[in-house]
Chains A and B, each alone.
Chain A
Amino acid sequence: MDLSQYFTSSDIAGITPEIILTLTALVVLTLEMARVFRPGIILLVAASGLVLAGTALVQGGNDDKILFGGMLYLNTFSMFFDFLYLFVGLLTLIFSQGYLEKMGSETRGEYPALILFAVIGMMLMTRANDLVMVFLGLELLSLSLYVLVGFLRHNLLSNESGLKYLLLGAFATGFFLFGAALTFGATGTTNFSGIASAIAAGTVLSEIYLYLGIGFLLIGFAFKVALAPFHMWSPDVYQGAPTTVTGFLCTAPKAAGFGAMLKVFMIAFPEAFPEWQDIFWVLAVLTMTVGNISALVQSNVKRMLAFSSVSHAGYLVMGILVKDIAGVSAVLFYLIVYSAMNLGAFAIISLAEKDEQSLTFKQFRGLASQNPLLSGALAIFMVSLAGFPPTAGFIAKYGLFSAAIAKGYIWLVVIAVLNTVVSFYYYFRIIVNMYMRDEKVGLQPSTGLLTAGILALLIAIVFILGITPGYLLEITVDVATAVS
């Protein structure tokens, strides 16, 4: 056996970003242990680690590389997602500044360290070329998130959502693993290309194992990205988690889940795919409808946004169903826009929150007269989430719907458009509440200069991508070509 093909120096060079992030996380924990530094410095170290990892990523170039004997596969697709995670991680760290203290928790270095570990896990998920690696990345991500969700140890809501997320997340992991085991059993390998060639060659041990394996893998993914009917955990978890963590939770991990799902279903199971089309169709319709209908009746803003993110996941499934370059590129575009909008919205909610409560619609009354800039920003994010031109939300939805129509899914698009119309109600409800006059204003959000600057940047992204989406569309089409 030739062992020298594993662990060459180019393998190590390929995972430089992960190594940098790991070292940064350890340094952050050491600073926490030393207890001599101000919390701002810990956040700064973590943020510079993310920036450094980004530079290493640029240095590494975007040519295709297979690392560690087929465990990781680096290409423009993985690189696209890597930058998304680093960006979301950085913004989450900036927005978290001072939030934990406000919620009555002592500042801990674990918080930025866990965010860094979660970013590493997500990077491994979309770089993976093997079910084992997807599993490891997914679990590194999930374990970090369980702790982050329950991070406010003395807050009952945070505790409860941590427990719920953990139990359902671990349950989903069981399904994912059983699916991976059965796929391994059917094809004799866990490598994506190995699985695909085994299916193509017809050397599958048993069709039952294979289809059951794919089904279980799909259930596992559906839990992790909260597709109906496996979305029940998400409102509880989103509501109870610290708001900055919720912002992180509904953007980057969701992108990672969809990225890994795209990779698994497009590279490993392209042959078996036609048989799963109907299931994806049903999943898409169920997810968007259930998400939107449930969001209508919520009184808590974080819960409303949780259901809204469920419905957005439904739109994204449409892109996976379409599966061609237009569909995948629309998914990628949507993920970027969706991340920008949700990060901004949750950041503003975290600014508005006072100690240990989560906000209802009524509490937003009169915010516009109190703080016109912040309310204006929140209104822009809501309009974009609803999908109105000239915001990026419109272009993103338009891309997905037109890709689906081109493939002949007319009814699916009709249902999606109806759902979008329904969603206007709950997005505008918050805007109407903000601009309603109310003498006793409850919320008194205060913004730091840095946070305000980042929010302005996100608004700029929403408008620039809404008016001239061409540049990013070129990139996403390019990236989509790499996996199709």
Chain B
Amino acid sequence: MIVPLEHVILLSLALFSIGVFGVLFRRNAITIFMSIELMLNAVNLALVGFSRYYDSVDGQVFVFLVMTLAAAEVAVGLAIIIALYRNRQTVNIDEINLLKN
């Protein structure tokens, strides 16, 4: 392996952390969604890195499944966001606060 495994994993961890920070600090539902996609892609990167290290395809198959899931999640998520936008005219999660005690 030309690129050491540690570098791949550190990059993946950094991407994952950025995604987590994005989810925690962003207020726009779409941006939060993009941050979650970043987290999933960090996972994919780690999986491919490990897969290459072990010289097995198990991890790469896992990546396919993660990608499919990401697409399905985006589809369901955007559908819910569209439904919400039609009723509320906003995707800012600070304004989406009807549910409380």
Binding site for B on A (CB under 8 A): 132, 135-136, 139, 143, 146-147, 150, 153-154, 156-157, 159-164, 166-167, 170-171, 173-174, 177-178, 180-182, 184-185, 188-190, 205, 209, 235-236, 239-240, 297-300, 303
Q: Decide: A185 near B80, CB < 8 A? Known: A156-B98, A178-B43.
A: no
Q: Which residues of B contact A157 (CB under 8 A)?
A: 98-99
Q: Decide: A139 near B69, CB < 8 A? Known: A156-B98, A174-B16.
A: yes
Apart from A135-B69, A160-B96, A166-B77, what are 17 other A-B pairs with CB-CB below 8 Å?
A132-B61, A132-B62, A132-B65, A143-B76, A156-B87, A156-B88, A157-B99, A170-B36, A174-B40, A177-B39, A181-B59, A184-B50, A185-B53, A190-B62, A209-B9, A236-B100, A300-B101
Interface residues as binary, B42-84 with A (CB distance below 8 Å gives 1, 0 otherwise):
1100110110011010110110011001001100110111011
Complex A-B: 28 CB contacts under 8 Å = A139-B73, A143-B73, A147-B79, A147-B80, A153-B83, A154-B87, A156-B87, A160-B96, A160-B98, A161-B99, A162-B80, A163-B80, A164-B99, A166-B80, A167-B32, A167-B36, A171-B36, A173-B36, A173-B69, A174-B16, A178-B46, A180-B43, A181-B43, A182-B46, A184-B47, A184-B50, A185-B9, A188-B54
* Closest A residue, CB atoms, query B79: A147
Binding site for A on B (CB under 8 A): 9, 16, 19-20, 23, 29, 32-33, 36, 39-40, 42-43, 46-47, 49-50, 53-54, 56, 58-59, 61-62, 65-66, 69, 72-73, 76-77, 79-81, 83-84, 87-88, 93, 96, 98-101
Minimum C-beta distance from A312 to chain B (A): 20
Pick the contact of B50: A159, A163, A185 (CB < 8 A).
A185
CA distance A89 to B100 in the complex (A): 29
Minimum C-beta distance from B80 to chain A (A): 5
Q: Which residues of B contact A160 (CB under 8 A)?
A: 84, 96, 98-99
Q: Is the CB of A177 within 8 A of B43?
A: yes
Q: Is the CB of B40 within 8 A of A177?
A: yes
Q: Which residues of A contact B93 (CB under 8 A)?
A: 163, 167
Q: Which residues of A contact B59 (CB under 8 A)?
A: 181, 184
Q: Decide: A181 near B50, CB < 8 A? Known: A162-B80, A167-B32, A167-B33.
A: yes
Q: Decide: A159 near B88, CB < 8 A? Known: A143-B72, A147-B76, A185-B9.
A: yes
Q: Decide: A163 near B46, CB < 8 A? Known: A132-B65, A173-B69.
A: no
CA distance A300 to B47 in the complex (A): 44
Closest 8 CB pairs of A and B: A174-B39, A185-B50, A236-B99, A181-B46, A177-B43, A159-B84, A170-B36, A162-B80
Q: Which residues of A contact B84 (CB under 8 A)?
A: 159-160, 162-163
CA distance A146 to B95 in the complex (A): 20
Q: Is the CB of A159 within 8 A of B87?
A: yes
Pick the contact of B101: A139, A170, A178, A297 (CB < 8 A).
A297
Q: Decide: A150 near B16, CB < 8 A? Known: A156-B98, A167-B29.
A: no
Q: Which residues of B contact A240 (CB under 8 A)?
A: 98-99
* Closest A residue, CB atoms, query B99: A236
Q: Which residues of A contact B36 (CB under 8 A)?
A: 167, 170-171, 173-174
Q: Which residues of B contact A299 (CB under 8 A)?
A: 101
Q: Decide: A184 near B62, CB < 8 A? Known: A171-B36, A300-B101.
A: yes
Q: Which residues of A contact B43 (CB under 8 A)?
A: 174, 177-178, 180-181
Minimum C-beta distance from A103 to chain B (A): 15
Q: Which residues of B contact A170 (CB under 8 A)?
A: 33, 36, 73, 77
CA distance A162 to B36 in the complex (A): 16
Q: Decide: A303 near B101, CB < 8 A? Known: A159-B80, A167-B33.
A: yes
CA distance A190 to B98 in the complex (A): 42
Q: Is the CB of B23 within 8 A of A136?
A: no
Q: Is the CB of A166 within 8 A of B76?
A: yes
Q: Is the CB of A163 within 8 A of B58?
A: no
CA distance A321 to B15 in the complex (A): 33
Q: Which residues of B contact A143 (CB under 8 A)?
A: 72-73, 76
Q: Which residues of B contact A164 (CB under 8 A)?
A: 96, 99
* Closest B residue, CB atoms, query A239: B99
* Closest B residue, CB atoms, query A150: B80
Q: Which residues of A contact B47 (CB under 8 A)?
A: 181, 184
CA distance A134 to B57 in the complex (A): 19
CA distance A156 to B53 in the complex (A): 49
Q: Is the CB of A177 within 8 A of B29?
A: no
